[in-house]
Amino acid sequence: MKNVLILGATSGIAKALAYQFAGKKHNLLLAGRDVEEMKRIAQDIHIRHGVKVTVHPFDALDYDGHADFFTNCLETAGEIDGIVLAYGYLGDQRRAENEFAEARRVIETNYLSAVSVLNIAANYFESKKDGFLCVLSSVAGDRGRQSNFMYGSAKGGLSLYLQGLRNRLSKSGVHVLTVKPGFVDTKMTFGQSGMFLVAKPEQVAKAIDKMIQKRVDVAYTPFFWRYIMLIIKSVPERIFKRLSL
């Protein structure tokens, strides 16, 4: 039985992962801003699967509070065997182009806050010489597109950070998985135009669980997004900039 900390526990993929882990009898630490929603999820998971589920308030942008937050989680669980970072903020591209506050929120939520909390987690797992970090990046980080390059640039930076972190922690036996979901039916994407091949969160969660077990480095989910992004990345820049993507 493992103790898994899930950051951003009320997101669609995070909830599906929580039920997936609970089905394997892993204890869970749910972290996020919506404490009441997390309590509801925790109670339901405990009734269905009988595992221990605790709730922890977590503000991604409260950098100064991340160390105390992590210490509190360790005091609750005794030890942590794995962490899933599943929060993010899509933001409004047009608004971010005109209001720096929106651009800053997109970049800080998706990149800076992740670096802050993952640095702490990485040092813990490195000293323990065991554990896994599973972080949700995005296919949007593979190539800048005019429709969402604020979000994409933050996720692209996160993917590069994880690549370096994986190289560092491989010497300590710590697994770092970068997950790049395509379009998933969640609150973040609700009402978004131009979506296709939309996956269910439960489908994505099962794929992520398998990738953790296989210690995969980078996973596109569903798998065919790897090939879609290969095509998109191969389009010459002089052509790409004319496309309405």
pLDDT in tens, the chain (245 residues): 799 999 999 999 999 999 999 999 999 999 999 999 999 999 999 999 999 999 999 999 999 999 999 999 999 999 999 999 999 999 999 999 999 999 999 999 999 999 999 999 999 999 999 999 999 999 999 999 998 999 999 999 999 999 999 999 999 999 999 999 988 877 665 556 666 677 899 999 999 999 999 999 999 998 999 999 999 999 999 999 888 77
Specify whether the CB–CB gap between 228 and 182 falls below 8 A. yes
Cross-strand pairs, 135: 85, 178
Beta strands in 27-160 (DSSP E): 27-32, 53-57, 82-85, 132-136
Q: What's the pLDDT tens digit per position in 143-173?
A: 999 989 999 999 999 999 999 999 999 999 9
Domains contained in the chain, CATH given: 3-241 (3.40.50.720)
**Tokens 């509070």 sit at which residue?**
65
Q: What distance in Å separates the CA atoms of residue 226 and residue 222, rounded to the nearest whole number?
A: 8
pLDDT of residue 40: 97
pTM to 2 decimals?
0.92
**Tokens 């972290």 sit at which residue?**
31
Query: With left for phi above 0 and alpha for psi between -120 and 50, is residue 5 left, alpha or beta?
Result: beta
Spatial CA neighbour of 130 closest among 85, 169, 165, 77: 169
**Tokens 């800048």 sit at which residue?**
144
